[in-house]
Amino acid sequence: MDNLIDVKNLYKSYGRKNVLHDFSIELGRGKIIGLLGPNGSGKTTLLKILAGILSKNGGEISIDGHDIGIESKKIVSYLPERTYFSPSMKVKETIDFFEDFYDDFRRETAENLLAKLDIDLNAKIKHLSKGTREKVQLVLVMSREASVYLLDEPMGGVDPAARDYILKTILTNYSENSSVIISTHLISDVEKVLDEVIFIKNGSMVLHESVDDIRQKNKMSVDELFREVFACI
């Protein structure tokens, strides 16, 4: 099978603290994958390493045949947990920024998605609510024709009514040759769009399985299994 992402024996530490330990995984194309685990389990660190923002201490990573570097960054679209745009920027200036920076950015797609959300292109970032800022950033990230989309808590600051629209945006803006990795604690909200899930705890993988197999073998939802595995209340 032609894997899109190959991670072998990945290791990352901050000083004496091991954040990722002997982490290995193979991910194919055309999938939406949930990266699930408690706070501090290593989810954000893993996404940042795949995005080329953090360096690893050991192990091997390949994204569509490329080592982490300039070539991999060209095909990875990353949504961080926090907004990184200057508060003084207008929404249309963030579009200009993405258009200048990324060759695969689809301006028309971004403008259409923002129009459906009734977001004023002339509004300044600082005048938008936290949820609206996150919507803008998600739209920009999903308007790239990337091979891999890495989304860190894409619905964290968004009201429940807008979550379905965000999931629809994700579903309709990636291709069968690309994959999406979503790190989230809103498992019950996102479960319906997931093809596979990865459970991560203390920097190690606990489980990697298809959602269908989880439901058939365990006779429970992903959310229920997560609560059982991690003893959540």
| Domain ranges across the chain | 5-229
Of the pLDDT bands very low, low, confident and very high (cuts 50, 70, 90), residue 231 is confident
Instruction: Report which listed range, 47-51, 151-155, 223-227, is most confident.
Output: 47-51
Start-to-end C-alpha separation, the chain = 39
- The fold of 5-229 is Rossmann fold (3.40.50)
Residues 6+ apart with CB under 8 A from 8: 24, 59, 60, 61
Model confidence pLDDT, tens digit, residues 9-50: 999 998 888 899 999 999 999 999 999 999 889 999 999 999
Q: Is the dihedral of CA 77, 82, 88, 90 positive or negative?
A: positive
Of the pLDDT bands very low, low, confident and very high (cuts 50, 70, 90), residue 175 is confident
The whole-number pLDDT of residue 233 equals: 43
- What distance in Å separates the CA atoms of residue 41 and residue 187, rounded to the nearest whole number? 16
Model confidence pLDDT, tens digit, residues 64-79: 999 999 999 999 999 9
Q: E-strand spans in the chain?
A: 5-14, 17-27, 32-36, 58-63, 76-79, 148-152, 179-183, 196-201, 204-210
Share of the chain above pLDDT 90, in %: 72
C-beta neighbour count of 59 within 10 angstroms: 17
- What distance in Å separates the CA atoms of residue 138 and residue 116, rounded to the nearest whole number? 14
